[in-house]
Amino acid sequence: MKSYPLRLLEDDVYSIPIDAFFKSAFSVDCAIFGYHDRDLKILLIQRGAAPYENFWALPGDLVYPDEDLDGAATRVLKDLTSLTDIPIRQVRTFGQVNRHPLGRVITVAYLALVEPTDLAPQASSWAKSTKWHSLNEVPSLAFDHSEILQESLGTLKNRLLTEDIFSNVLPQKFTLTEFQALFETILEKEFDKGNFRKKLVQFKFLKKLTESQKNVSHRPSSLYSFDEKKFNKMTEKGFAFDF
Amino acid sequence: MKSYPLRLLEDDVYSIPIDAFFKSAFSVDCAIFGYHDRDLKILLIQRGAAPYENFWALPGDLVYPDEDLDGAATRVLKDLTSLTDIPIRQVRTFGQVNRHPLGRVITVAYLALVEPTDLAPQASSWAKSTKWHSLNEVPSLAFDHSEILQESLGTLKNRLLTEDIFSNVLPQKFTLTEFQALFETILEKEFDKGNFRKKLVQFKFLKKLTESQKNVSHRPSSLYSFDEKKFNKMTEKGFAFDF
DNA sequence: TACACTTTTTGTCCATTTTACAATTTCTTT
DNA sequence: AAAGAAATTGTAAAATGGACAAAAAGTGTA
């Protein structure tokens, strides 16, 4: 069995024996949102272990003492769902004293937006099953995961406006209508088609390609590609969508 | 000596003995920014205890196992600097494995913006001294606090545009010039005076009072007050400054 | 081949907002 | 009474935004 060596602890550095502090744990929980074709879903696992056995939950687990937080989130996601190469980022940390029945566990929530048709999540380790849930069909979740999910959804909306969290869910070549649909779905708003595309074109981070759609029974749309570098420079300088 | 009872832990829930996970600690660190008269400072303490004894650092300490995170941040700030009633909010959590020399300690960073002339921070507990440092004169800090400070400053700028983090540092009655100076200083940008005030007036969360400045050797400015409720409603609905 | 149908794409008009300034006002100080 | 200083108001050109209409470019069908 693997063991996790800890550094020696010096006592009496604080007036309370420092050992008393080193009896907590922390976990990571991943809110993986899947966007495809005007549909936003959340990836949940069904827990196969106590506590909250059989409950649906965000993929998450305790962090090893010798593991960075970001690395832990990546590993845990892979352990439970077999997903790799998902770019995740923190939402915030949830630390209510009684949020975990087995002891003091604070949890760092992580967020990603992915294209589910690229992926095939498969339950492993103690996860019984995995499932993409529509956001209006989410059951009551384990721990404080319902709260974490709600806040993560809010953070997703914010980040969509201020950073490139969306390029993963677009194909290499996409239409402006697809781009618009993505923003309309996640922000739960509709936009005038003509005005939306005019604005997008002004921003100049979309490159119009020579190709266009094939085999559609209407005027084919021309395809665009996303200039990630240009967009990132813009957001670093304070650009944000004002949709 | 105070002791901190922990709940009993069940073993064998996970394939690794769960005790192995419950040997970590977490801390909170507070980035308290002080704004006064076109000047932005950061409150630091000089550490009077190992590790990093004598180093300057953000006020921060370990969290008790029976303490919520937000409450811990409030308490720690009071313990070290005697400051109370400071409205703090999370920035993010820093969790590099080796960031703390005594063991695995992740830290949750908190942020506030205050008016330093209202306050008299006084070092207590293991803090040797406290000092407001200008942001361009910050020494090398303990732990990873330099990184935390930098990121907190970025978060401060963001929050200034999207929520009411500034009303604490304005007097009850203030001039539009004072309001503008606050934004110019923190965002490190300058604005056209006439246009800035026109925009502000349109927003309607400032109430023009009948009073005006006294004893200034130029045309006195009329005073305004801030309608916090109105502003909060607006930001909840998505309003943000686009300065 | 012509026409219906669908969605993309472009264009237009008008109201509103932004921007860069200039001019005016209202105090104190000299 | 005039000068100085900053607040306040005004203005004109440019840019933007929103509602909406028209044209374009494909497929499917008679």
Q: Which residues contact A101 (CB under 8 A, 6 or more apart)?
A: A51, B7
From A230's Cα to the closest Cα of chain B, the distance in A is: 21
- Dig out the tokens for A119 from the structure: 């992926």
Contact B33, B156 (CB under 8 A): yes
Å between CA of A213 and C1' of D29: 22
Q: Number of CB pairs < 8 Å for A and B? A: 133
The structure's pTM equals: 0.91
Euclidean distance between CA atoms A64 and B108, whole angstroms: 18
Strand B222-226 with A56-57, pairing: unpaired
**Are β-strands A25-35 and A40-47 bridged in parallel, bridged antiparallel, or unpaired?**
antiparallel
Residue B42, beta-bridge partner list? B33, B133
- Which residue's CA is nearest to the C1' of nucleotide D4? B218
* pLDDT given at position B16: 66
Could you tell me if B220 and B212 are in contact, meaning their C-beta atoms sit under 8 angstroms apart?
A: yes
B26 and chain A in contact, CB less than 8 A: yes
- What pLDDT tens digit does each residue of chain B (243 aa) get? 233 333 334 444 445 677 888 889 999 999 999 999 999 999 999 999 989 999 999 999 999 999 999 999 999 999 999 999 999 999 999 999 999 999 999 999 999 999 999 899 999 999 999 999 999 999 999 999 999 999 999 999 999 999 999 999 999 999 999 999 999 999 999 999 999 999 999 999 999 999 999 989 999 999 999 999 999 999 998 899 999
Q: Give the H/E segment covering residue A208.
A: strand A206-212
Q: Which residues of A202-217 are buried (b: 16+ CB within 10 A; e: fewer)?
A: eeebbeeeeeeeeeee
Distance from CA of B1 to the nearest CA of A (A): 7
**C-alpha span between B122 and B114 (Å, rounded):** 16
Gap between the Cα atoms of B144 and B58, Å rounded: 10
Nucleotide nearest to B223 (CA to C1'): D7
Q: Identify how many contiguous H helices and E strands chain A contains and give both numbers.
A: 5, 9
Three-state DSSP state, B177: helix
Per-residue confidence (pLDDT) for residue B21, from 0 to 100 = 86
Chain B hits for A20, CB-CB cut-off 8 Å, are 3-4, 65
Please tell me the number of Cα atoms within 13 Å of B42 on its side-chain side: 28
The predicted structure's pLDDT at residue B215: 87
Count Cβ atoms below 10 Å from residue A87 Cβ, excluding itself.
13
Distance in Å, residue A215 CA to nucleotide D29 C1' = 17
Determine if strand D comes within 7 Å of the CB of A195.
Answer: yes
d(CA A113, CA A70): 16
- The protein residue nearest nucleotide C10, judged by CA to C1', is A194
Residue A67 touches partner B, C-beta closer than 8 Å: yes
**Separation in Å, CA B89 to CA A92, A131, A202, B72:** 10, 34, 36, 12
DSSP helix/strand/coil, A150: helix
Q: What is the mean pLDDT of each run of 10 residues along chain A (243 residues)?
A: 34 62 94 97 95 96 94 97 97 97 95 95 95 96 98 97 96 96 96 96 94 91 96 92 92
